[in-house]
Structure 1
Amino acid sequence: MMSTDRDARLRHRIEFEAGAANSIMLSDTEAEFAKEMLQKAESALDTLDRQLDTLWPEHKEEYEVMERQCGQAAARVERLSIALAPHKRLPTELLSYIFTLSAGDSSLSLPPSRTDMALGSPWVLRKVCSRWRLVALSERSLWNFLSMDIATDDSYSEKTQLVDLKVIEHLLPIILPKIGSLSLYLCVNGISVQRAFDAVIAPCADRITDLYLGLPGSSYSTFFAMLPNQFTSLKNLDLEFLDSFPAGASPIPDLPPSMRHLSVAGDSSPFLSLRSPEMNLGYMTDLDISQMNVQFSDLSLILKRCTNLKTCRISVFGDGGIDAITLPFLHYLMISLDRGTIFDDCTLPSLKELHVSYDEEFPGVELASMLRRSACLLEIFSWDHPPSPMVAQVDAAALSGVFAACPSITDVAGRNVVVPRAVLDRIKNRELLPKLEILECRVDGETVRPFVDAIMSRAQGEIRRPIRGTTPSGFRAAIGCYPQDLQIPDDLQDFIVKLEPLEVLLERVLRLIPS
């Protein structure tokens, strides 16, 4: 009797408890018993289905009775299938790994997408079962990088913005980890700015390590008032001013000592408040103001106090500053400029990678002087000129001076600029850039053959290299882009055809391509 009662309780637990709730998992013993129950239930349903087919249409009353029995049997099969559903038996650690893997490295977008519910939305909170939901909420790595872009535009009204903000306000208390660091992206304008800031940023300011903030210029006063004391963990700060910062408004008072990265776009006036000598910028290691144009004489007052700067992206105009600038740890510089004289003020002894974009004349003389003064071991150098109907030219002596100043360069790119023939000839003979491995530039009718000769010279040196494992003497990659209307001589056409098997032989990229 006891065994019968125990079996009855077990059957009830399997069918009506585990079969009705995704959160209940069966033990291995219970699962084996449930499999037997499911097999018998499926067999009984199959028998009823076959009998049902024989009753229609002669025995309608019996058919209706058996049809109800089939429905009950099918419901029982479904309950037992739910009890044994494989997703319920996945270990918690494996579920967490699956959720983390599916989320990728990108931020989680709030509110969830209306068009694609699986794209940038907390899908695990809505689908499958309550256990999955609990596991997902416990995996804090899913929720510590949240992106909320609710800035209005022509296709996104303030009414819709308010609806989305209410969704965000509802979800944040559910998904936001209660402890640990947070990365937040908030872009908002219109009537909901203060409400969004109070809901998203203010409650967890001391835990935010990475913050992207896009606000109207007039709405930054609340954020600036919280600096530096309330953002005690802030490391990376990206500010975008959606419109002009009001004249006379309170500037940035100071930055937290935890700050390492600062990016500003839209309006330079708040950034220039960092010129104040009271501000300690020695802890900054990364600066990006490449999305706005700043007078270099103003920027120099900031740069000279960023003594630990390692990477820098800037867009500047005007002549050099008043004082010399030495950045002993800077290894990456991307700069857009209109005058090369700004390099006269700079000493960069650790520079490894340099990208220069210029509006008018290539600043080769100033660059070469700066590189010699810095005595740096530059490895990557690129220069660019805004695309124009006429392919940009560069003075051979100026470019040769830059290359001669840094024979350590291994990677060169002048994507919109033709490298002069005289320079290509010296590269071919290794008079310039003996360690060069990557060359990318434009070629024209005068330089296409010297470019090819340089490729072949380096490639042939690679073929002759007898000892495996020694330093390569040829290009790892050489790409020459020529105009669509350029007439390529027949012998060079043959060379282009032969480049593909040469690439396979050398395991290198060697190409001439129209563009």
Structure 2
Amino acid sequence: MSTPLPSGMRLESTNTETHGQVKGLIEATKTKIARLTVQIRELEFLRERERDVLAALRLMIVPIGQLPTELISEIFKLAVHTAVLKTATREGIWPVSSTMYASTRAALHKALCLSQVCGHWRRVAFSTRQLWAEGVVDIHFNKGMTDPYLDGFKSLLTRSTPYPLSVSLVGSDTAAVDSLRRIADIIVPTAYRWRNLRINMESFRHFNDISLGTFEALERLYIYDFSEQTSPVTAFQSCPRLREFTLKSGEESKMYLIQVPWQNLTHLNIYDESLGGCRTALLQCSNLTSATIATSYDWDFAPGGVDSPIIVLPFLETLKLTFYGFVEGDIDGIAAFFMPLSLPSLKSIDLEFNPNEDETWPRAVFSEFQNRSPKLQEIALLFSSIDASGLIALLRHGPSLQTLDIQNSWSCVGEDFFEALYYDQADSAPLAPKLENIHLESVGDDFEEIYLEDAIRSRWWKDGERLLPDNSPPRVSRLKRVWVAGRFSDELKARMKELVPQGLDLYLA
């Protein structure tokens, strides 16, 4: 069955004439289609222009349309802003750097949404360069390097100029050389604006080609994995503004490959099995205020490498140290770590040990360390092997200790501990004279309850209730909070409850 021709179109009967007529009709139809296409485009353009006029008219009668552009820009900044700094917790040992990129696309997504509302908002968004520097430029090396993908980076980097950037490099640098070069040509010229940089890659070979001094604005650097890295990383050894460095190695230590200006750092966060490497890095950080280190128990230096002169870190206030297991070695690394440390400003130390390992508590070394840290106010021990004598020594060398938090340290609390903690008004040199907060959980319960009760009552009193014979106040601080988990009788709990309404925060589990 043949397809009928449009109305008014006739063909003659001979084949030759029909062939010629069809060719003519084809050309005429193409011409019509081209003319109609142009007309459609013109109409679409006119439609979009009228839509812009309609949007502008509507904008004139809504409240936001009466705001000046500068004020709309400020509103956009507030709407897009995404906080990237978070507080470290005991459960999450990695503070700022590891969480800085948790909302990598949030700010940029908000900026894009604002730019799609209408033409006026798009112009405001594109001219407000801070919006495009607020989020994280998330670069995946293992993605297809398509033109739209690269064009997007170009546009974003252009719009954000000259503001600082947060950049995340993810994937593998084993991709095709031409793909790496295309990305490098786009991002390297902006490296002088990078304030925060996160690298989650197997290796970092190609970035050593970047000239020293390029990262002049870099303040926070976070490196993760580096499992295939074999050569030293020198790209960051000249970063004058670098203040925070985080390294989270994989299964093998990468500590010795990293070169950063240690003396500039104020915050250090390391997860690396090389205890020696961690200590070497720490001792170079003369301006640190906080450090979080997770490493192994065993020393990994050659014999004789344990010894080191006492090194003062004058500004370090917070130290969290986690020992997660053993590697090869026969020297107790806990003592080696604390031997050279002098932290005169230290206020808080948190030590966490592997519950499956039987390490030795370095009583003498830690006491000497405490003597060099006279301002230490908070001590937390988790899964420690410290015994009763070690715990009493810890209190004896803690003249500024205010908070003692010991958990899952099974045999350190007994009658000797509470007898030592008991305060006698006649004692001119009481143990831990500033102690106010006690948290004991899974620390041993083989003691008479009366020792616990006497120790608490001796260090707690009502306002104005207790004075020495010469009308002077006690030589110890009054307890504020006591949390003790153990198998206590109902009689003890009932007796101690009378202190709660009087102001003591007491909990006996």
Same-fold call, TM cutoff 0.5 = yes
Query: Which of the numbers 337, 343, 348 marks the counterpart of 1:348?
Result: 343
Cα distance change of structure 1 residues 306 and 491 upon mapping to structure 2, 3 Å threshold: same
The yes-or-no answer on 1:255 pairing with 2:237 is yes
User: Which residue of structure 1 lines up, in the alignment, with residue 60 of structure 2?
Assistant: 83
The yes-or-no answer on 1:288 pairing with 2:269 is yes
Query: Which of the numbers 413, 416, 433 marks the counterpart of 1:420?
Result: 413
Superposed displacement of residue 472, structure 1: 10
The yes-or-no answer on 1:21 pairing with 2:20 is no
Distance 2:150 2:448 in 1: 61
Superposed displacement of residue 341, structure 1: 1.8
The yes-or-no answer on 1:186 pairing with 2:185 is no
The yes-or-no answer on 1:406 pairing with 2:402 is no
Unaligned runs of 5+ in 2: 1-49, 85-99, 300-304, 324-331, 425-429, 468-473
Preserved CA contact (<8 Å) 1:383 1:414: yes
Distance 2:318 2:309 in 1: 19
Preserved CA contact (<8 Å) 1:108 1:143: no
Give the residue type in structure 2 aligned to 1:225.
D
User: Which residue of structure 1 lines up, in the alignment, with residue 481 of structure 2?
Assistant: 477
Superposed displacement of residue 167, structure 1: 7.6
The yes-or-no answer on 1:132 pairing with 2:132 is no
The more displaced of 394-403 and 102-111 is: 102-111
Secondary structure of 1:460's partner?
Answer: coil
Distance 1:480 1:464 in 2: 25
TM-score (norm 1): 0.65
Distance 1:471 1:451 in 2: 20
Superposed displacement of residue 369, structure 1: 1.5
Preserved CA contact (<8 Å) 1:266 1:292: yes
Distance 2:505 2:183 in 1: 50
Residues 105-150 of structure 1, C-alpha deviations (whole Å, 9 max, x = no match): 137889857xxxx996435434543433444445444433433556
User: Which residue of structure 2 lines up, in the alignment, with residue 11 of structure 1?
Assistant: none
Give the residue type in structure 1 aligned to 2:421.
I
Secondary structure of 1:237's partner?
Answer: strand
Secondary structure of 1:433's partner?
Answer: coil
Superposed displacement of residue 465, structure 1: 7.5
Matches within 5 A, 1:153-172: 158=143, 165-166=149-150, 168-169=152-153, 172=156
User: Which residue of structure 1 lines up, in the alignment, with residue 132 of structure 2?
Assistant: 143
Secondary structure of 2:287's partner?
Answer: coil
The yes-or-no answer on 1:335 pairing with 2:321 is yes
Q: How many residues align?
A: 405
Preserved CA contact (<8 Å) 1:149 1:185: yes
User: Which residue of structure 2 lines up, in the alignment, with residue 511 of structure 1?
Assistant: 507
Preserved CA contact (<8 Å) 2:157 2:190: no
The yes-or-no answer on 1:225 pairing with 2:209 is yes
Residues 322-356 of structure 1, C-alpha deviations (whole Å, 9 max, x = no match): 32241332322222346332122322223222222
Distance 1:88 1:370 in 2: 65
The yes-or-no answer on 1:382 pairing with 2:380 is yes
The yes-or-no answer on 1:365 pairing with 2:364 is yes
Superposed displacement of residue 294, structure 1: 1.0
Secondary structure of 1:144's partner?
Answer: helix
Superposed displacement of residue 380, structure 1: 1.8
Query: Which of the numbers 76, 79, 83 marks the counterpart of 1:105?
Result: 83
User: Which residue of structure 2 lines up, in the alignment, with residue 318 of structure 1?
Assistant: 298
Unaligned runs of 5+ in 1: 1-15, 23-78, 386-391
Q: Which is richer in helix?
A: 1
Preserved CA contact (<8 Å) 1:109 1:121: no
User: Which residue of structure 2 lines up, in the alignment, with residue 306 of structure 1?
Assistant: 285
Give the residue type in structure 2 aligned to 1:420.
V
Supply the RMSD in Å over aligned alpha carbons.
Answer: 4.1
User: Which residue of structure 2 lines up, in the alignment, with residue 76 of structure 1?
Assistant: none
Secondary structure of 1:211's partner?
Answer: strand
Superposed displacement of residue 451, structure 1: 5.1
Preserved CA contact (<8 Å) 1:124 1:136: no
Preserved CA contact (<8 Å) 2:130 2:163: no
Superposed displacement of residue 510, structure 1: 3.2
User: Which residue of structure 2 lines up, in the alignment, with residue 439 of structure 1?
Assistant: 438
Superposed displacement of residue 459, structure 1: 4.3
Cα distance change of structure 1 residues 497 and 206 upon mapping to structure 2, 3 Å threshold: same
Identity of aligned residues (%): 22
Give the residue type in structure 2 aligned to 1:407.
P
Superposed displacement of residue 405, structure 1: 1.2
Give the residue type in structure 2 aligned to 1:339.
G
Preserved CA contact (<8 Å) 1:212 1:238: yes
Distance 1:169 1:105 in 2: 22
Superposed displacement of residue 442, structure 1: 0.3
Give the residue type in structure 2 aligned to 1:172.
L
Superposed displacement of residue 368, structure 1: 0.8
Residues 218-238 of structure 1, C-alpha deviations (whole Å, 9 max, x = no match): xx0122332532112222211
Preserved CA contact (<8 Å) 1:272 1:299: no
Distance 2:232 2:258 in 1: 12
Give the residue type in structure 2 aligned to 1:367.
F
Distance 1:439 1:140 in 2: 51
Secondary structure of 1:412's partner?
Answer: strand
Superposed displacement of residue 265, structure 1: 1.2
TM-score (norm 2): 0.66
Superposed displacement of residue 211, structure 1: 1.3
Give the residue type in structure 2 aligned to 1:427.
L
User: Which residue of structure 1 lines up, in the alignment, with residue 188 of structure 2?
Assistant: 202
Cα distance change of structure 1 residues 235 and 227 upon mapping to structure 2, 3 Å threshold: farther
Give the residue type in structure 1 aligned to 2:224.
E
Cα distance change of structure 1 residues 237 and 397 upon mapping to structure 2, 3 Å threshold: same
Preserved CA contact (<8 Å) 2:367 2:393: yes
Preserved CA contact (<8 Å) 2:202 2:227: yes
Preserved CA contact (<8 Å) 1:242 1:266: yes
Distance 1:416 1:136 in 2: 54
Cα distance change of structure 1 residues 403 and 125 upon mapping to structure 2, 3 Å threshold: same
